[in-house]
């Protein structure tokens, strides 16, 4: 059976080949640096397994173009980059990595928050660009005593709560499925989404992307927030309505934003390819322009979907991916996307 790994680095190839050897997994493994998408379909489509990351786009067109495809192990927790309906129609199995970077992503969220609250990037940029050590324009704010609203209290959410408690912050949370034991153990309270947004000085998003969370943060919900509030997003870009966020920031209805993810981030990462192959009906051009406005806002910090990116987390991803592949090969697939 042939497997193609898309979007891999040399160290990942070496790591996976070693794991396959250790666990006696017999596969014809091909490693590609390029991603898998409608614009990047390999010339040889004679493989049964396509292992991808979130930067690939396994659309219906891609699935149609791969006639032998039977299994998609994605090296990620989220799977909105895969057309599950199209996969299901072909009885293609999709496995995910449900747990790998709870602390990793939570740490990034607070890195973004600290960059905003203490103007760390502005200070660095000021010294680098002008040589000035003046702190007159760099006054920040304490996290101690502030209220942080955690939207989504799964694994990443509860790590964020633990970190917030370390900063002596007051924690409130929203989750459609509250974990009252967790609330008791960690010392926070659940409230409605509206109340969390109204009362929080900081809002951090830790929800999966699905129909129910599309534009969860929009013009209406942003209007509930304090004008000094900061919003942090390390979940998925479309959880926030980008145009609404830009307008709120420009109007002074929001204090700042720390974003590791963006709507249409795939286009932003490869705009030349979009110009060559993209079509307006497939991409929201207003959102793409709004992203560029965000780049230049002084109260916004953006990182390139990097929250997962530590060596330890990546190794955990690869370890689970190996287990997913091994389970599929013996006819008992695990960690199935639903």
Backbone angles phi, psi at 261, to 5 degrees: -135, 150
* Residue 206 neighbours by CB distance under 10 Å: 27
Residue with tokens 């390390």: 234
CATH of domain 2-100+311-329: 3.40.50.720
Please determine whether the domains at 2-100+311-329 and 102-302 fall in the same fold group of CATH: yes
Longest dimension (CA), the chain: 64
DSSP state of 283: S
Q: Which residues are catalytic?
A: 236, 265, 305
φ and ψ of 166, to 5 deg: -65, -30
Domain ranges of the chain: 2-100+311-329, 102-302
User: What is residue 164's predicted lDDT score, i.e. its pLDDT?
Assistant: 98
The SS3 of residue 38 is: coil
Residue with tokens 């659309």: 59
Q: What is the DSSP letter of 52?
A: B
Q: What's the confidence (pLDDT) of residue 62? A: 98
pLDDT in tens, the chain (338 residues): 999 999 999 999 999 999 999 999 999 999 999 999 999 999 999 999 999 998 899 999 999 999 999 999 999 988 989 999 999 999 999 999 998 889 999 999 999 999 999 999 999 999 999 999 999 999 999 999 999 999 999 999 999 999 999 999 999 999 999 999 999 999 999 999 999 999 999 999 999 888 999 999 999 999 999 999 999 999 999 999 999 999 999 999 999 999 999 987 654 444 334 333 444 444 455 676 677 788 889 999 999 889 999 999 999 999 999 999 999 999 999 999 98
| Listed residue (208, 205, 242, 203) closest to 226, CA to CA | 203
Q: For residue 152, give both structure tokens.
A: 């989504």
Closest CA to 258 of 148, 112, 122: 112
Q: Are 97 and 74 in contact (CB under 8 A)?
A: yes
- Domain 102-302, CATH among 3.30.1330.50, 3.30.70.1380, 3.40.190.10, 3.40.50.720: 3.40.50.720
Length of the chain: 338
Beta bridge partners of 172: 149, 189
71 three-state secondary structure? strand
The secondary structure of 175-219 as a DSSP string is: -SS--HHHHHHHT-EE--HHHHHHH-SEEEE----SGGGTTSB-H
Tell me the backbone φ, ψ of residue 189, rounded to 5 degrees.
-125, 145
Q: What is the pLDDT of residue 78?
A: 84
Q: How far apart are CA 183 and CA 171, in angstroms?
A: 10
CA distance 28 to 282: 35
Locus of tokens 């070693």: 18
pLDDT at 338: 83
Tell me what percent of the chain is helix, strand and coil, each rounded to the nearest 5. 40, 15, 40
């Amino acid at each position: 059976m042939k497997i193609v790994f898309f979007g891999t680095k040399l160290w990942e190839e070496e790591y996976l080949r070693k794991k396959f050897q250790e666990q006696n997994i017999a596969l014809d493994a091909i490693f590609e640096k390029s991603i898998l998408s409608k614009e990047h379909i390999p010339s040889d489509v004679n493989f049964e397994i396509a292992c991808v990351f979130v930067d690939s786009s396994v659309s219906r067109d891609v699935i149609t173009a791969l006639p032998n495809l039977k299994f998609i192990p994605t090296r990620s927790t989220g799977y909105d980059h895969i057309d599950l309906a199209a996969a299901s129609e072909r009885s293609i199995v999709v496995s995910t990595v449900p747990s790998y970077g709870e602390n990793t992503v939570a740490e990034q969220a607070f890195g973004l928050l600290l960059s905003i609250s203490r103007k760390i990037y502005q200070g660095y940029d000021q010294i680098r660009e002008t040589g000035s050590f003046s702190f007159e324009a760099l006054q920040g704010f304490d996290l101690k005593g502030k209220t942080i609203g955690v939207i989504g209290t799964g694994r990443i959410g509860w790590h964020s709560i633990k970190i917030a408690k370390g900063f002596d912050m007051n924690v409130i949370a929203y989750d459609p499925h509250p974990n009252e034991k967790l609330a008791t153990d960690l010392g926070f309270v659940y409230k409605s989404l509206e109340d969390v947004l109204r009362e929080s000085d900081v809002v951090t998003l830790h929800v999966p992307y699905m129909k129910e969370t599309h534009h969860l943060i929009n013009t209406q919900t942003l209007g509930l927030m304090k004008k000094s509030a900061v919003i942090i997003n390390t979940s998925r870009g479309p959880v926030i309505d980008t145009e609404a966020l830009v307008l709120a920031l420009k109007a002074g209805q929001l204090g700042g934003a720390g974003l590791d993810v963006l709507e249409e981030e795939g286009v932003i990462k490869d705009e030349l390819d979009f110009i060559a192959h993209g079509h307006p009906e497939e991409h929201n051009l207003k959102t793409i322009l709004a992203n560029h406005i965000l780049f230049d806002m002084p109260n916004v910090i953006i990182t390139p979907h990097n929250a997962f990116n530590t060596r330890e987390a990546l190794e955990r991803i690869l370890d689970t991916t190996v287990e997913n592949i091994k389970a599929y090969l013996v006819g008992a697939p695990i960690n199935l996307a639903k």
